[in-house]
Amino acid sequence: MIEMRNFKIEKPDEALRSIIQDKIDNLNKPKGSLGRLETLAMQICLAQQTLTPSLSHPCHLLLGGDHGIEREGVSVSPREVTWQQMINFTKGGGGVNMFCRQHGFHLRIVDVGVDHDLSQVSDILNRKIGLGTRNFLYEAAMTPDEYDRTLRVGVDLVDACYAEGCQVLCIGEMGIANTSPSSIWMSLFCQIPLDECIGAGAGLNTAGISHKRDILHQALNHFNEIYPQPSPQDIIRYFGGFEMVAAIGATLRAAELKILILVDGFIMTACALAACQLYPDAQAYMIFGHCGDESGHRRMLDALHAEPLLTLGMRLGEGTGALCAFPIVDSAVRMLNEMNNFDHANITKYF
C-alpha cells in the first residue's frame, strides 16, 4: 500500500440548502425557470457555504507530461508534439490561451514530466519529476516516491493559486498518449470492458485503434498478474502520467480548500474519477464542463452521475471544454448576486 498525503475533504454542510433554495425561488422569475442555472447555483453555494458566492481570481493549470506507453505506437502523434505545444502555449497560440484570455483566467503552464529540457523557457514552471513516465506495458509508470512527489506538485500549485485569492480552478493537460492510461482507469474504476473505453485519441484510424487495444490489453493483463486485488493508488501509479497525477493532487487540494473545480474532457474526467476513488466527497466541488467527442467520455460521466454543462463535440484537451463552460457558471453566480427578488422589485409572485 502506498503512503500518500492525507487530504481533509469535507462534504458540504447541507444545513444551508433550504435557505439557498428559498433565495433562488424568490428571485423575480417563475420558480425553476432558469433550470440548470438554479441547480448549479445550489451546488456552488453549498460548496462555498454562502448565499453570495464568488468566482474571484479564476486560475487555469496547464500540466504537461510524456508517457512511456507512447513508444508502443498507441497515438497518432509523436511525443515531441508535447514539448512543441508547451512552447506554443507560452507564445499565446494555443486554444487554451484564447479561452483563458476570453474568460479572464490566470494561466500557469507547468512541466511536470515532459521528455524535453524546457528549463530555459521562462514562462513554463519547472516541476519536472522525470523525462516522461516508464512504459506501463512492462512496468509501473512511476515509483511510489515519484507518485507522492507528483501529487505534491499539484498541491503546491493550488496553494499558490489560493494565496492569490483563487475560488475557481480549471485544469488542463498536454501529454501525447494520455488517452491510454485514461481508458484503463475508466475500465478498472467503472468496471467497464476495456474495449468499450478505448477510442481514437487524437485521430487514430481503425487499424490504429485495433493496435492500441492490443497493447492496452497486454498491459492490463500484466498488471492483473502483479496486482490481483489492486488499491486505487496502485492503479493510478501503475498507469498514470505525471501530468495526470499532478492533476489529481491539484483536484484534491482544491476540494480541501473548497475551491470550485471545472472538469474538462476525457483525460481530466478520468483524473476526477481517480480522485473520487480516493476521496468521494471531492466530487461536491467539481463542475463538469462538457461531454467530449472521445469514445467513452459519456459513460465515464454517467458512472460519476455527472451532468456536463455543454456538449460541443470537443476533444482538444488543454482544459478548453471546461473553460468554454465558465460563462454558464458565471451566469449562475450572477443570478444569485444580481437578480432582484419579488419583494424588492415590488412584483407580485406569479407562480
Residue positions annotated with a catalytic role: 318
- 303, three cell numbers: 458512472
Closest C-alpha among 161, 190, 180, 329 to residue 244? 180
Backbone φ and ψ for 318, nearest 5 degrees, come out as 70, -5
Give the integer Cα–Cα distance in Å for 249 and 275: 8
Enclosing H/E stretch for 43 = helix 36-48
CA pair distance 211, 224, nearest whole angstrom = 20
Q: Are 208 and 71 in contact (CB under 8 A)?
A: no
> Which residue, chain included where needed, has cell 488542463?
172
* C-alpha cell recorded at residue 180: 491510454
Signed CA dihedral, 299, 181, 89, 164: sign only: positive
Grid-cell match 498488471, residue found: 223
At 222, list the grid cell: 500484466
Dmax of the chain from CA atoms? 70
Gap between the Cα atoms of 338 and 330, Å rounded: 11
Order across the sheet with 59-65: list the strands.
124-126, 106-113, 59-65, 168-174, 260-263, 286-288
CA distances 297 to 83, 88, 206, 269, 271, Å, are 26, 27, 19, 8, 12
Q: Which of helix, strand or coil describes residue 186?
A: helix
